[in-house]
Amino acid sequence: MAFTPVSFEDFDPAHLYCMPLGGQNELGLVSWAFVHQSKILLVDAGAAYPAFDLPGVDLLLPNTAFLEANQDKIVGLALTNGHEEHLGAFAYFMKHLSIPRIMGPRFVGHLIRQEIFDLYGQGHLDQSQLSFEEVNGQTLKVGPFLLEWIAGNNSIYDAYCLKISTQAGTVLYTSGFKLEQTPLDGVMLDIGRLAACGDEGVMLLISSSVNVEEGGYSASEKTVLRSIEKISQSAEGRLIVVMPATNTHRLKVLFEVAKRTGRKVFLQSPTLHKVAVSAAISGYLTYDRNIEGEADKLDTTEDRQVLILESSKEADPIDVLQAISRFEHPTTRLKVGDTIVFSSDVVPGQVRRMAHILDELLALSVPCYYGNRQGVNVSRYGAREELKLMLSITKPRYFAPAMGESRHIVQHGNLGEFFNLGADEIFNLQNGDVLEMKNGYVRPFGRIEAEPVLFNCDQGERVTTASIKERQALSVEGFMTLGLTLGLDGKLLSGPNLSCGASGFLLSDEWPDVRQEIEIAARAAVTKVVQERINDERDSGPYMRSAVREAVVKVLRNRMGAKTTVQVQIHQVGN
């Protein structure tokens, strides 16, 4: 599927254009833009956790270049739930875009007011300037778009699907959903209304793909309640649960576990505390306040009565688990008798890391329960039969599988063939790809810039690709700093002095000999430059650094096969 670059001027006002700004071929970062009658509607503002191959990056955020260039066309932002993959970039959007209307469910509004996702403190919002329109299943007219929030089900309160009606056609956006038949909050996916939408006519279905590889139906949160309750009853010491901060159904489960097994809940994560406050204010989380423990009484509470809940701020829960296992966590320190439950998904790419963490905990004699097989976690996304059900009841004319990695989207797209959708009616999109809806047809139209923004909490936003490549090289090949002291005539007075870091060859048997060769090569390079530039009065510093670096790099590559980053420092003093 070929897409050519397009600009806003290429869009016909009478047609509808749909484009993912993130969430395609990746987990998280969900955000879509819809353009109709020269107006832009944004749906969701998600963030994602970076993979290990992006050192120095704390968050991935949607690219807003297209939106910033057309700010005066934006009519609103519609939010569907409060998970980080749908709401994590909200503060970033507010910092860079002028959005006249912000709409979403009540619980999402409370999360925004609590500043759950504030970009590590860099995205504080002026609440007096923030206008949030609370929705509860009603229909709103937003510019040329008619929006209807339809009750969904997820692991969070107030999760919705979104119907987007325009003169060019109707889009049904499922957001993240599952068919939970025994929901903790009593709210089920509104199959009746979704089926009615199908009868009314859905031109394009945009549906979550994350859990397509799991057959059948996703398990209920109530199975987690039974499993963790058994673990809590058998644990002789403290029970530590690491979980995603926005999984409010899991939070409710754990309060119930504490009640049944005689423990007090200690919310060690500030983010978890904010989520609990938001849920309580919204009226969704009710519990006996005597169950909640006070942080300053944790050390004096009997271990058998302690249930610690840990999460992280805008980071993968596995980061928290690793910090705890290595005694690097700021608030939770392991002790004899502790039991850990990792009540979260181990996302693809983190399986090997999880294995290392389990080994570390095993060496400490700390049992750790994790994953669906041990019953301490269930997916918050619909499995294959639930995805098929959505296709069946909505009867879309065209289908765009979304919100998942490449294999998820392809497999989900393949399900469309069971519902008489042809290859030209299923679109496996990349971020930035644009679909055009006109005259009852949907077709590929072009693409806009959509490379994710790389965010570092220390440097600020938009870490450059060059910086990432340099960090990748440093993390793999290490670095070497070589210091030289030269006289005013350029001759070597002392050195070279070598300092190396993160370089595996330092442990090799050949390194002592290679080090001598490096020193010899560096001295020879200095002598050569001095001889070549005897009558040259120009500063020889840059030329000298370059010559020495090339000589050292050549030795490292020839002898060690290493592509180490080499830095040469020259100090020039009077003779």
Q: What is the pLDDT of residue 556?
A: 80
CA distances in angstroms from 487 to 170, 418, 572, 575, listed in the order given: 77, 79, 6, 5
Question: How many angstroms separate the CA atoms of 442 and 316, rounded?
Answer: 37
pLDDT per residue over 98-119, tens digit each? 999 999 999 999 999 888 887 7
Rounded to 5 degrees, what are φ and ψ at 240? -115, 120
- Under 8 Å CB-to-CB from 42, ≥6 apart: which residues? 31, 32, 33, 34, 67, 74, 76, 77, 78, 93, 99
Q: Quote the radius of gyration of the chain (alpha carbons, Å).
A: 28
Which residue matches tokens 């840990």? 310
Reported confidence tier of residue 452, pLDDT bands at 50, 70, 90: confident
Question: How many angstroms separate the CA atoms of 59 and 547, rounded?
Answer: 39
From start to end of 54-115, where are the E strands? Answer: 59-61, 74-78, 102-105
Q: What is the pLDDT of residue 53?
A: 61
Rounded to 5 degrees, what are φ and ψ at 72? -70, -10
The structure's pTM equals 0.80
Has residue 444 got a pLDDT over 90? yes
pLDDT per residue over 463-474, tens digit each? 655 555 555 555
Residue count (the chain): 575
Question: How many angstroms separate the CA atoms of 388 and 417, rounded?
Answer: 11
What CATH number should be reported for the domain whose range is 8-216+379-455? Answer: 3.60.15.10
HSE (side-chain half, CA atoms, 13 Å) at 564: 31
Through-space distance between the first and last CA atoms of the chain, rounded to whole angstroms:
68
Q: What is the pLDDT of residue 54?
A: 65
Whether omega for the bond prior to residue 401 falls within 30 degrees of 0, making it cis, is: no
CB of 478 closer than 8 Å to CB of 562 = yes
From start to end of 123-230, where are the E strands? Answer: 132-135, 139-142, 145-151, 160-166, 169-173, 204-208
* Beta strands 31-36; 16-22: pairing state: antiparallel
Rounded to 5 degrees, what are φ and ψ at 571? -115, 125
Average pLDDT of span 347-359? 84
Rounded to 5 degrees, what are φ and ψ at 27? -100, 125
Q: What is the pLDDT of residue 120?
A: 67
Question: How many angstroms separate the CA atoms of 8 and 66, rounded?
Answer: 8
Question: How many angstroms separate the CA atoms of 4 and 36, rounded?
Answer: 20
DSSP 8-class letter at 227: H
For residues 199 and 487, the model is more confident at 199
For residues 147 and 537, the model is more confident at 147
pLDDT per residue over 38-87, tens digit each? 999 999 999 988 766 666 677 889 999 999 999 999 999 999 999 999 99
Q: In DSSP terms, which residues pair with 16 in a beta bridge?
A: 36, 437
- Under 8 Å CB-to-CB from 207, ≥6 apart: which residues? 174, 387, 390, 391, 399, 400, 401, 402, 412
**Helix locations, 364-442, DSSP H:** 384-394, 406-415
Other C-beta atoms closer than 10 Å to the C-beta of 9 total 7
pLDDT per residue over 377-418, tens digit each? 999 899 999 999 999 999 999 999 999 999 999 999 999 999
Q: What is the pLDDT of residue 273?
A: 87
Q: What is the pLDDT of residue 475?
A: 56
Rounded percentage of the chain residues whose pLDDT exceeds 90: 54
What burial class does residue 86 get, using C-beta atoms within 10 Å of its C-beta: 0-12 exposed, 13-18 middle, 19+ buried? buried
Report the mean per-residue pLDDT for the chain. Answer: 87
Reported confidence tier of residue 28, pLDDT bands at 50, 70, 90: confident
Has residue 507 got a pLDDT over 70? no
Average pLDDT of span 126-155? 89
**Fold match flag (8-216+379-455 vs 221-370):** no
What CATH number should be reported for the domain whose range is 221-370? Answer: 3.40.50.10710
- Under 8 Å CB-to-CB from 54, ≥6 apart: which residues? 60, 454, 468
Average pLDDT of span 133-160? 93
CB of 25 closer than 8 Å to CB of 430 = yes
Q: What is the pLDDT of residue 290?
A: 86
Rounded to 5 degrees, what are φ and ψ at 292? -80, 125
Average pLDDT of span 326-341? 93
Tokens coding 249? 């159904």
Rounded percentage of the chain residues whose pLDDT exceeds 70: 90
- Could you state, in order of their start, the residue ranges of all structural domains in the chain? 8-216+379-455, 221-370, 478-572
Q: What is the pLDDT of residue 378?
A: 92
Reported confidence tier of residue 227, pLDDT bands at 50, 70, 90: very high
Reported confidence tier of residue 122, pLDDT bands at 50, 70, 90: low
CA distances in angstroms from 406 to 208, 344, 403, listed in the order given: 12, 22, 9
Q: What is the pLDDT of residue 203?
A: 98
Opening angle at CA 561, ends 550 and 510, nearest 5: 100
Q: Which fold has domain 478-572?
A: Ubiquitin-like (UB roll) (3.10.20)
- Under 8 Å CB-to-CB from 129, ≥6 apart: which residues? none
pLDDT per residue over 276-285, tens digit each? 888 888 888 8
Question: How many angstroms separate the CA atoms of 39 and 17, rounded?
Answer: 10
pLDDT per residue over 208-224, tens digit each? 999 999 999 999 989 99
Has residue 428 got a pLDDT over 90? yes
What burial class does residue 347 get, using C-beta atoms within 10 Å of its C-beta: 0-12 exposed, 13-18 middle, 19+ buried? middle
Other C-beta atoms closer than 10 Å to the C-beta of 366 total 20
Tokens coding 49? 């956790």
For residues 67 and 269, the model is more confident at 67
Has residue 566 got a pLDDT over 70? yes
Q: How many helices (H) and strands (E) does the chain have?
A: 15, 24
Has residue 325 got a pLDDT over 70? yes
**DSSP labels, 323-378:** HHHTT--SS----TT-EEEE-S---TT-HHHHHHHHHHHHHTT--EEETTTTTS--
Q: CA dihedral in degrees (295, 297, 300, 305; nearest 10)?
A: -70
Q: Identify which of 430, 450, 530 has the alpha carbon closest to the alpha carbon of residue 490.
A: 530
